[in-house]
Amino acid sequence: MKRRIDEIHHVQGQSYDEALEKEHEASTKVKNIKVIEIGRYEVDTWYFSPYPDVFAMQSRLYICPYSLKYFKRRDSYVRHLAAVTRRGPPGLRIYAAPAPPQPEANAKLGLPQPARLTLYEVDGSTAKVYCQCLCLLAKLFLDHKTLYYDVDPFLFYVLCEEDATGAESLAGYFSKEKSSAEGNNIACILVLPQHQRKGYGKLLIDLAYHITLREGKVGSPEKPLSDLGQLSFRSYWTEVLLEALRTQRGNLSIKDLAASTAIRSDDIISTLQSLNLIRFWKGQHVISVSAKNCR
Ligand code: ACO
């Protein structure tokens, strides 16, 4: 290993640390696990995830949709599913609502309509193993985020589809630092690929902003945003800001919008700029909107 780093150092003129970092970066770019089986779904993965070695060397992992425990072998997985008693996240249930109609394709595939959507608040310091398993699973679909093991400082808001038997399988989640120096209200957000484009991402984002509003703060997602993250946040901000402009009367300032939506002013400005609804006048941003813009 030392010799290889020497060679990299020599060839590229980098320091040892830089070379090691590059080496690590290169090895983590290689996707290890290709497919996961989770509940009734078989899902192709997108990125590398640092599962412990013996699991990371498998091309297929079996993941329990309730406990998120992972298995190399199908028979161990099936035994676990038969024995698992808690069929939902280990936290506090904070929301439950009838599930929206599912895409037509699901019915064609014979997938049942879930009865309800449920949401749990799970504390990283009390449900450590569950949250670590959640982060490892999420990394299979996230390029940049790097939280896997130090989950204590985070809360996890976990969205589940509940079936007719009351079993609640993971659909998506977002994590949030208990205390964020940067004012982030979402650290990571994921909706599992088989549940994407059903509005679950925006539901989770909406929840995050409602929590922030209740805390009397403003918040913003941790950067960098993925392309899908960018699309989802921009869509959410646009919808909420246009609704606020439509319903709130009088001359609204960026500060007023931030106070009523919990969206941070830089995100408000960039969204209104993309909609051509803001001007820079006498050193200030001025919202310039007519009734037609908010329809
Ligand atoms: N192509 C085009 N538009 C898309 C796509 C897509 N593949 N996916 C979502 N959108 C748009 C939707 O059209 C929708 O906008 P609209 O309401 O104006 O039509 C908006 O984004 C949100 O759609 P949802 O169905 O609510 O989002 P979804 O449930 O699919 O979840 C998420 C979005 C969480 C970003 C999901 O794609 C995902 O988990 N991606 C992988 C992980 C990731 O990239 N996470 C974000 C990283 S950044 C961060 O963590 C702070």
pLDDT value at residue 113: 87
- Report yes or no: 77 and 64 within 8 Å, Cβ to Cβ: yes
Statement to judge: residues 150 and 281 lie in one domain: no
pLDDT value at residue 105: 83
Statement to judge: residues 162 and 248 lie in one domain: no
81 touches ligand 1 (CB under 6 Å): no
pLDDT value at residue 8: 35
Q: Does residue 224 have a cis peptide bond before it, meaning omega lies within 30 degrees of 0?
A: yes
pLDDT value at residue 102: 84
CATH code where residue 263 lies: 1.10.10.10
Considering only residues 252 and 146, tell me which one the structure prediction assigns the higher pLDDT: 252
Q: Of 46, 182, 197, 274, which is best to mutate to test ligand 1, by the most ligand atoms within 8 angstroms of its C-beta? A: 197
Domain boundary, last residue among 195, 224, 253: 224
pLDDT, tens only, 204-247 = 999 999 999 999 999 999 999 999 999 999 999 999 999 999 99
The mean pLDDT of 126-147, rounded to a whole number, is: 92
pLDDT value at residue 11: 40
Statement to judge: residues 190 and 284 lie in one domain: no
Considering only residues 199 and 31, tell me which one the structure prediction assigns the higher pLDDT: 199
pLDDT value at residue 31: 80
Statement to judge: residues 197 and 246 lie in one domain: no
Statement to judge: residues 29 and 87 lie in one domain: yes
pLDDT, tens only, 40-63 = 999 999 999 999 999 999 999 999
The total number of structural domains in the chain stands at: 2
Domain boundary, last residue among 175, 191, 224: 224
Asked whether residue 281 is domain-assigned, the answer is yes
Coarse DSSP helix, strand, coil percentages of the chain, rounded to the nearest 5 percent: 40, 25, 40
Q: Which residue has the tokens 């959640």?
A: 134
Statement to judge: residues 209 and 262 lie in one domain: no
Q: What is the C-alpha radius of gyration for the chain, rounded to an integer number of angstroms?
A: 22
Q: What is the band of 127 on the pLDDT scale with cuts at 50, 70, 90?
A: very high
pLDDT value at residue 3: 31
Is 222 tagged catalytic? yes
Statement to judge: residues 238 and 215 lie in one domain: no
Domain residues for the domain of 90 are: 8-224
Statement to judge: residues 116 and 237 lie in one domain: no
203 closest CA partner among 254, 246, 160: 160
Statement to judge: residues 148 and 280 lie in one domain: no
Q: Torsions phi, psi of 35, nearest 5?
A: -140, 145
The mean pLDDT of 107-118, rounded to a whole number, is: 87
Q: Is the pTM of this model over 0.85?
A: yes
pLDDT value at residue 16: 56
- 270 alpha-carbon distance from chain centroid: 22
pLDDT, tens only, 276-294 = 999 888 888 888 777 666 5
The mean pLDDT of 78-99, rounded to a whole number, is: 96
Asked whether residue 3 is domain-assigned, the answer is no
pLDDT value at residue 201: 98
Tokens at 156, concatenated: 């996890």
The mean pLDDT of 255-269, rounded to a whole number, is: 97
Task: List the catalytic residue out of 168, 222, 239, 243.
Answer: 222
Protein residue with least CA distance to atom 6, ligand 1: 228
Asked whether residue 236 is domain-assigned, the answer is yes
Protein residue with least CA distance to atom 35, ligand 1: 229
Statement to judge: residues 261 and 143 lie in one domain: no
Position 26: which residue type?
A
234 touches ligand 1 (CB under 6 Å): no
Residues in CB range of 166: below 8 A, 6 or more apart: 87
Q: Which atom of ligand 1 is nearest to the CA of 195?
A: 29
Statement to judge: residues 91 and 136 lie in one domain: yes
CATH code where residue 207 lies: 3.40.630.30
